[in-house]
Structure 1
Amino acid sequence: MNNGMKIRIGTRGSKLALYQAELVQAYLRNSAGLADIEIVVIKTSGDMIRQKNPVPMETKRIFTKEIEEALLADQVDIAVHSAKDLAAKMPEGLMIGAVLEREDPRDCFIHPDGKKLGDLKEGAVIGTSALRRQTQLLRFYPYLKVENIRGNVDTRLKKAMNRECDGILLAYAGIKRLGLQESVSEILDEKMFYPAPGQGVIVVQCRSKDQAVLDLLRSIHHDDSGKLLQAERVFLTELEGGCQLPCGIRTRINGPRMEASGVLLSPYQPQWVEADFVGQSDNPDEVGLQLARRILETGGKIILEEIRGKAGQKMNKAYGDGENA
């Protein structure tokens, strides 16, 4: 590889997004010996448009669209994303070129006084913009209330510390990457609070025909994390969902086996379907596919039909926080 080549990294401009881009930059410098790596900040429609209520079946690429357009237009050479911001189906001509080693995929709870969820009184208000977190919270703590709370990680932390709510739910990975672990009151058990597909994963996207870049990215790719992400993306695709579908999945590789458990929840009533599947770690597509089908065949289709029926009129609106937190 020509270590004199220049690489332009496309990214959003939030503190967490820049951290992720700088991490990829450091990996490329250390693994491939590249010195000329530029970070290009691109504002996305998701940074400019906010919607009050999340839409369960939304699949629009509002936090990746402009970056992907820049990549296709050869304005940048690679793009760095939180995996859960990527659409299940990427634009033609683009692909995931590398997956970094996964950070802790669990969710966490932050309370200004360090209280845990089980310590809260009836009617306490918990802030989160993710339907997956909202539905799982009410599954185990039906006496609590949820409130949509948006903004980057710092903004949401300030709201919690200023007691604008009684605590917030975030992805632990983003908190950990920003060095804010001391603010965490509780790390949630992923056997109860399933992580989102791709949570805790940083991906590097590139043009599918750019062989020089693909060769370069092999040096920073983490194979096991890539397999787990692939299974989780297939799972989400089979459920026909976007990043706001109230579903979760946990996966792990155990020797030649990949073990996966998933859940699909209704955002309208206390109803959910869980399933497990064990397959071969070298066939992640099959693991994700079979797990999703088990959920659909045991009641998940009814939940999806309900979601489609009630969310249909909202599908063309933007939403979300777009952070890997």
Structure 2
Amino acid sequence: MKSIRIATRQSPLALWQARHVGALLTRLHPELQVSFVEMTTAGDRFLAAPLSTVGGKGLFVKEIEQCLLDGRADLAVHSLKDMTSVLPPGLLLAALPTREDPRDALCGPPGLTLDGLPKGARVGTSSLRRSCILRARRPDLEIVSLRGNVQTRLARMRELQLHGAVLAFAGLKRLGLDSEIAEVLPTSVSLPAVGQGVLAIQCRTEDAVVRGLLAPLEDATTRVAVTAERALMARLEGGCTVPLAGHATVQGQTVHLRGLVGRPDGTKVVAGERSGPVEAALAVGDALAEELLSRGAADILRDFGRVASARES
């Protein structure tokens, strides 16, 4: 294969991610010519309303996935946290490179901290998960919805004179915007979204040549963690319509997963954790989901129109 086409969104972060993967591929395969198919997705166009009200996270990937299925591109690079739990028939996650830092970051003036925010402070976020976590820890905060790419959200934070905004540390780091960060929030304070910090490289299942080119980019540890996290998400049927978090770490031959489901206003949060052998990562995610459902997550999901319920034991 002499050339390869990479489908990507047109946001600065998405382009950075696609070009990063392109550079990795040309380093591995110097003869390969890489080009980019830049697209604007529904998630990029519909910025006036919260993501949860206009179709959820799939809005960022559906059109790009269709581009792959139509043969207009050979692979696509996504932020894994933007992807739904079920992939379209004919597509697969061919490679998951080593994960970037998965934590959230509070942006704002130097010295700002989440616990040090003044009472009633206005904080921006585009995520129901972050809203829930922030409100659960600081019920006094006023949460302001921020949509758009990273630079747009930072600009809006200033225009609206917010005290701060919470974004993914990985995106800020990739774009060289570390100076915007006032505090990196530990996962014990702000549990990350499923797949946060992970690049997902997707291609057609039947395309053995592209799969072979991508194989060296795979990181086994990241795959184990992601398998547990996405199993949790799949069982809970969560997306951007209900606050859901899931983060797994791998130590030796053990995967440890933490997860939570909550109400957007933070008045109820159901959290838990499970561990198991790496080869049982999927079962670990499923088991934690069952535990959360039995302890009250089912009621939260039902309130938001989801149908997940605890299985009979």
> How do residues 90-105 of structure 1 correspond to structure 2 at under 5 angstroms?
90-105=87-102
Q: CA deviation at 1:194?
A: 0.4
8 Å Cα contact 1:57/1:244 also seen in 2:
no
- Offset of residue 34 of structure 1: 4.0
* Equivalent residue runs for 1:163-174 within 5 Å: 164-174=161-171
Q: Which residue of 1 aligns with 2:302?
A: 305
State TM-score, norm by structure 2: 0.93
Please give the alpha-carbon distance, in whole angstroms, between the structure 2 residues aligned to 1:106 and 1:85: 16
CA distance in 1, matches of 2:301, 2:16: 36
Q: Deviations over 1:264-313 (max 9, x none)?
A: 1112451111111111112221111111111111111111111228xxxx
Give the Å deviation of 1:53: 3.1
Q: Is the 8 A contact 1:56 1:242 kept in 2?
A: no
Query: Cα gap change, 1:274/1:57 in structure 2, threshold over 3 Å: closer, same or farther?
Result: farther
Matched with 1:153 is 150
Distance 1:130 1:268, change over 3 A: same
Contact 2:46 2:54 in 1 (8 A): no
Q: Tell me, yes or no, if structure 1 residue 77 matches structure 2 residue 74.
A: yes
Alignment deviations for residues 167-224 of structure 1 (CA, whole Å, 9 cap, x no partner): 1000000000011111100000101210000000001000001111111110111111
Name the structure 1 match of 2:278.
Answer: 281
Shift of the 259–34 alpha-carbon distance from structure 1 to 2, 3 Å rule, reads: farther
For the residues of structure 2 that align with 1:174 and 1:56, how far apart are their CA atoms?
24
Note the alpha carbon deviations across 1:220-264, whole angstroms, 9 max, x for none: 111111111121111101001113430112211111110111111
| Aligned match of 2:28 | 31
The structure whose RCO (Cα within 8 Å, separation 6+) is larger is 1
Moved more, 270-279 or 158-167: 158-167
Conservation of the 8 A alpha-carbon contact between 1:58 and 1:242 = no
Tell me which residue corresponds to 1:187: 184
Is residue 110 from structure 1 mapped to residue 107 from structure 2 by the alignment? Answer: yes
Structure 2 partner of 1:14: 11
Residue 235 of structure 2 is aligned to residue 235 of structure 1:
no
Alpha-carbon distance in 1 for matches of 2:102, 2:278: 19
Does structure 2 retain, via aligned residues, the 8 Å contact 1:12–1:43? yes
Q: 1:215 aligns with which of 193, 212, 216?
A: 212
Q: Paired residue for 2:119, among 119, 122, 128?
A: 122
- Paired residues, number: 306
CA distance in 2, matches of 1:127, 1:268: 14
Contact 1:58 1:245 (8 Å CA) reproduced = no
**Alpha-carbon contact 1:57-1:241 (below 8 Å) kept:** no
Cα pair 1:56 1:245 within 8 Å, conserved = no
Aligned-pair distance for 1:150? Answer: 1.2
| 2:40 equivalent among 39, 43, 53 | 43
Cα contact 1:83–1:202 (8 A) shared by 2: yes
Q: Match of 2:67, as an amino acid?
A: A
What CA RMSD, in Å, does the superposition of the two structures yield over aligned residues?
1.7
SS in 1 for 2:304: helix
Tell me, in whole angstroms, the C-alpha distance in 1 between the residues paired with 2:274 and 2:3. 43
Return structure 1 stretches of 4+ with deviation > 6 angstroms.
none
1:139 to 136, 145, 168: 136
Q: 1:269 to 1:11 in 2, by over 3 A?
A: closer
CA distance in 2, matches of 1:96, 1:223: 13
Q: Find the counterpart in structure 2 of residue 259 from structure 1.
A: 256
Secondary structure of 1:185's aligned partner: strand
Partners of 2:54 and 2:282 in 1: CA distance: 22
Name the structure 1 match of 2:309: none
Match of 2:311 in 1: none
